[in-house]
Amino acid sequence: MVITSTDNPRIKALAKLKTARERRRTGQFLIEGGREVERATAAGITVEALLICRELPGAIDPIDVTAEIIEVAPGPMRKVAMRENPPGVIALARQFDTALSRFVPGPKSLYLIAEQVEKPGNLGAMLRTCDATGADGLVVADAATDVFNPNVVRASQGALFSVPVAVAGTRDAIDWSRQGGLQVVGGYPDAAAPLWDVTLRGPTAILVGAEDVGISAAWREVAVPARIPMSGQADSLNASVAAALLLYEAVRQRTDRPLPAGKDEPVAESA
Amino acid sequence: MVITSTDNPRIKALAKLKTARERRRTGQFLIEGGREVERATAAGITVEALLICRELPGAIDPIDVTAEIIEVAPGPMRKVAMRENPPGVIALARQFDTALSRFVPGPKSLYLIAEQVEKPGNLGAMLRTCDATGADGLVVADAATDVFNPNVVRASQGALFSVPVAVAGTRDAIDWSRQGGLQVVGGYPDAAAPLWDVTLRGPTAILVGAEDVGISAAWREVAVPARIPMSGQADSLNASVAAALLLYEAVRQRTDRPLPAGKDEPVAESA
């Protein structure tokens, strides 16, 4: 039986999961799109139900899935989907554990800490960069956007399921970084040392602040400043761009290749 | 007199400028937000009218402006604005010249070429990065999104007005890069040389491809490949992230600082 009414109670309940409050209440979230659903199941995410609309592109034959199958018409699919052009498949999934205590830093650790980042697109782009740089995890500190927001899932292109993610308050995240012996490195436009001169070879957490206000006072006390040079009229970069520049600088320094003469010392520590 | 009706013909005409077609037809575009309008006027953009809603945050007193002032209620403002929470001021502005012939490469030139980039947020983030890196300009090749889209204006945080922008077809942009003696460098996940080993000191254009399909065959023929190392499951980075990594690598190489031993040679040219 295909659900055709947008007033169907099941559809209304699913559409509610577009709000952070309902996701918190139920511990569930939505995954839009066949590729994303495949990556989620491959990563061991529990899919409880699959909404399938055969009239929309990307509908899949859920042969491998033990989840409940709900066949719907385009109208109900549009109601449940966050994106304007709904996909042929949306999964109802169970949220995974995001406790920070799962993250145990080691001597080669590389983490990204995103403080109060608001835009789902930025969190998604950061997850992709964490995946590409082989970062050990993303810590969402003092979350301004729920990582289970459908737009984060989408913008991450499935990296939400391959990159370990933790959510924590600022205080807890600072304590964790201290106890783990992590050097926290934040990008500032006015720091003395450019990022290329701050050694990122030891256990490191890259820190980026909120889109509008940047890094908070609490984090400024613990973070080593690294200057991202800016020569223009604008005073900041997109948050996910700043994160990527610092993460890839860590990759550059950790790649087995000659360093500039005299740059093997941790400049930031002597500054 | 304050316009209160969303059916007002003036309001309806302005709201139409949210479509690319109407912007093309009229040569006008909309600038949402006081800070963005200030940056536009400072950059010499012609503002023809200012919509002001004193009941919304950010309304400005347009003392310095010779433009027509249109006072409106929140309803009409919401109809004209692209963003969900409309600002107190929206400018009706005249589009500026985007001819590629304005761009004359020199020996130190650094350009960004964005091919078929679709997401306004990505174009906006690229403009901010061009501004920060002091790039000579952004070339939007085979445009998939109009640079005068209100969401590009917004995401650029005004960098659309400080960074020179050109729009061109792929063929014209390739001819321009050849005639200007530019080394075009594109990011590929599978190139032999990592970006840190490709010399970006000469006249250079960084190339990024469309979000979904990457760099096209036509550009692949002219572009020097630079590998952005990726170690994860995802096979690509956000387009504006890839652009920033390459642009900042050019900045790093052009900064007056020691290069790694043996890395002063243009590796890409000998490869």
The confidence score (pLDDT) of residue B232 equals 78
Greater model confidence, A85 or A185: A185
The confidence score (pLDDT) of residue B236 equals 82
Q: Is B133's CB within 8 Å of A238's CB?
A: no
What percent of chain A is modeled with pLDDT above 90?
A: 79
Position B219 pLDDT exceeds 90:
yes
Domain span at residue A47 reads: 9-94
* Segment among A57-61, A181-185, B9-13, B101-105 with least mean pLDDT: A57-61
Residue B105 within a domain: yes
The confidence score (pLDDT) of residue B64 equals 61
Q: What is the mean pLDDT of residues B253-266?
A: 56
| Domain CATH number, residue A195 | 3.40.1280.10
Residue A132 within a domain: yes
The confidence score (pLDDT) of residue B252 equals 95
Residues A210 and A89 both lie in one domain: no
Residue B257 within a domain: yes
Q: Is B260's CB within 8 Å of A255's CB?
A: no
The confidence score (pLDDT) of residue B257 equals 60
Among chain B residues, the shortest Cα distance to A248 is held by B245
Residues of B whose CB is below 8 A from A238: 124-125, 128-129, 155, 240, 244
Q: A199 and A268 in contact (C-beta within 8 Å)?
A: yes
What percent of chain B is modeled with pLDDT above 70?
A: 92
Supply the mean pLDDT for chain B.
90
Residue B4 within a domain: no
The confidence score (pLDDT) of residue A213 equals 85
* Segment among A128-142, A170-184, B131-145, B226-240 with least mean pLDDT: B226-240
Q: Which residues pair with A31 in a beta bridge?
A: A91
Residue B202 within a domain: yes
Task: Select from B238, B255, B259, B263 the residue whose CB has the most chain A CBs within 10 Å, as the one to mutate to test that interface.
Answer: B238
- From A95's Cα to the closest Cα of chain B, the distance in A is 21
Domain closes at, from B74, B94, B114: B94
| Distance (Å, whole) CA B201 – CA B193 | 16
Return the residue matching tokens 């491998």: A64
Position B51 pLDDT exceeds 60:
yes
Nearest CB among A134, A237, A258 relative to B128 is that of A237
Residues of B whose CB is below 8 A from A163: 232
Residues of A whose CB is below 8 A from B262: 258
Return the residue matching tokens 């009941």: B55
What percent of chain B is modeled with pLDDT above 90?
A: 79
Residues of B whose CB is below 8 A from A162: 232-234
| Distance (Å, whole) CA A234 – CA A120 | 22
- Cβ count near A194 (within 10 Å): 17
Residues A68 and A153 both lie in one domain: no
Residues A139 and A233 both lie in one domain: yes
The confidence score (pLDDT) of residue B270 equals 34
The confidence score (pLDDT) of residue A62 equals 61
Q: Complex ipTM above 0.90? A: no
Chain B residues interacting with chain A (CB cutoff of 8 angstroms): 39, 119, 121, 124-125, 128-134, 155, 157-159, 162-163, 194, 196, 228-234, 236-238, 240-241, 244-245, 248, 251-252, 255, 257-263
Domain closes at, from B46, B74, B94: B94
Residue B62 binned pLDDT confidence (cut-offs 50, 70, 90): low
Residues B104 and B159 both lie in one domain: yes
- Six token digits for residue A108: 């080669």
Residues B141 and B235 both lie in one domain: yes
Residues of A whose CB is below 8 A from B130: 232
Residues B63 and B160 both lie in one domain: no
Nearest CB among B234, B240, B251 relative to A238 is that of B240
| Domain CATH number, residue B15 | 3.30.1330.30
Residues of B whose CB is below 8 A from A159: 232-234
Q: What is the mean pLDDT of residues A134-159?
A: 94
Nearest CB among B229, B233, B244 relative to A241 is that of B244
Position A84 pLDDT exceeds 90:
no
Residue A65 binned pLDDT confidence (cut-offs 50, 70, 90): low
Residues of A whose CB is below 8 A from B245: 244-245, 248
Q: B94 and B49 in contact (C-beta within 8 Å)?
A: no
The confidence score (pLDDT) of residue B61 equals 67
Position A61 pLDDT exceeds 80:
no
Residue B84 binned pLDDT confidence (cut-offs 50, 70, 90): confident
Q: What is the mean pLDDT of residues A79-97?
A: 94
Which class for A66: exposed (0-12), middle (13-18), buried (19 or more C-beta within 10 A)?
Answer: exposed
Position B268 pLDDT exceeds 60:
no
Residue A19 binned pLDDT confidence (cut-offs 50, 70, 90): very high
Q: Is A125's CB within 8 Å of B233's CB?
A: no
- From B134's Cα to the closest Cα of chain A, the distance in A is 6
Residue B1 within a domain: no
Residue B149 within a domain: yes
Residues B114 and B246 both lie in one domain: yes
Position B265 pLDDT exceeds 50:
no
The confidence score (pLDDT) of residue B213 equals 85
Residues of A whose CB is below 8 A from B253: none
Position A189 pLDDT exceeds 90:
no
Supply the mean pLDDT for chain A.
90
Q: What is the mean pLDDT of residues A98-123?
A: 96
DSSP string, chain A: --B--TT-HHHHHHHHTTSHHHHHHHSEEEEESHHHHHHHHHTT--EEEEEE-TTSTT----TT--SEEEEB-HHHHHHH-SSSS--SEEEEEEPPP--GGG----TT-EEEEEES---HHHHHHHHHHHHHHT-SEEEEES-SS-TT-HHHHHHTTTHHHHS-EEEE-HHHHHHHHHHTTPEEEEEETT-SSBGGGS---SSEEEEE-BTTTBS-HHHHTTPEEEE----SS-----HHHHHHHHHHHHHHHHSSSPPPTT-SS-HHHH-
Domain closes at, from A94, A121, A144: A94
Residues B46 and B81 both lie in one domain: yes
Q: What is the 3-state secondary structure (H, E, C) of chain B?
A: CCECCCCCHHHHHHHHHHCHHHHHHHCEEEEECHHHHHHHHHCCCCEEEEEECCCCCCCCCCCCCCCEEEEECHHHHHHHCCCCCCCCEEEEEECCCCCHHHCCCCCCCEEEEEECCCCHHHHHHHHHHHHHHCCCEEEEECCCCCCCCHHHHHHCCCHHHHCCEEEECHHHHHHHHHHCCCEEEEEECCCCCEHHHCCCCCCEEEEECECCCECCHHHHCCCEEEECCCCCCCCCCCHHHHHHHHHHHHHHHHCCCCCCCCCCCCHHHHC
Position B261 pLDDT exceeds 60:
no
Residue B217 within a domain: yes
Residues A219 and A115 both lie in one domain: yes
**Shortest CA distance to A188 belongs to which of A163, A151, A223?**
A223
Residues B34 and B60 both lie in one domain: yes
Residues B190 and B174 both lie in one domain: yes
Q: What is the mean pLDDT of residues A171-198?
A: 94
Q: Is B158's CB within 8 Å of A130's CB?
A: no
Residues B109 and B79 both lie in one domain: no
Q: A166 and A127 in contact (C-beta within 8 Å)?
A: no
Please count the structural domains in chain A.
2
* Segment among A11-25, A134-148, A251-265, B77-91 with least mean pLDDT: A251-265
Q: How many CB pairs under 8 A join A and B?
A: 137
